[in-house]
Every structure is written in C-alpha cells, then in structure tokens.
Amino acid sequence: MEKNRSNELLWNKLIHTHSTYIEFTISPFYFYKVFDFCFELSWNYHLILSIHDRTVDAGRSSSQPAYGEHNHLAQQAKQPPVSYRRP
C-alpha cells in the first residue's frame, strides 16, 4: 500500500511538472518575451556594427587601406597561384 502511495505521488508530481512546462512554453506571452529578447539582441548588434563601420570609415583617410587590406592573407588572396603567374 505504501509503495502504491509513493508511486501515485510521484506520478502526480510528474504530471504537474509536465503540464506546467507545457503551459509555460505554449503561453503567447512567453513566445512574445523570447521573440522580443531575440529582436532586441539582433537590433542592438546591428546598431553596434553600423556605428563601428561609420567610425572606422570616418577615421580612415583615402590614402589608408580599407579595413583588412593590410593583412598579408588578403594580399595573397589577390595574387593568382604560383602556377598561373607569368615570368
């Protein structure tokens, strides 16, 4: 009888937890909060990038190379491979 009672309590707890979880995930308010958070995150990231691009552009004179052009990998990528070079 005692084992039956503990099983019943465990089962009730499981059902209660599961139903709470379903109510929480399906509630429109929860979806709205998640969507709002993701939107804010992406919008802030977009703003930070655009501000960064504008400050980089404003700080660069026309004689300076564009961002990343000083990188030797970028220079190598512009040249054709050795087998295609003319002597």
**Domains in the chain, number:** 1
User: Each residue of 2-61: pLDDT tens digit?
Assistant: 667 777 777 777 666 655 555 555 667 777 788 888 888 888 888 887 777 776 666 555
pTM of the model as a whole: 0.29
State how far the Cα of 74 lies from the Cα of 58, in Å rounded to an integer.
22
List helix spans (H) across 27-71. Answer: 28-59
- In this structure, the number of other CB atoms found within 10 A of the CB of residue 74 comes to 13
Domain that holds residue 7: 2-84
Q: 82 near 76, Cβ under 8 Å?
A: no
Give residue for tokens 């190379």: 65
Distance of CA 27 to the CA centre of its chain: 24
CB atoms within 10 A of CB 65: 11
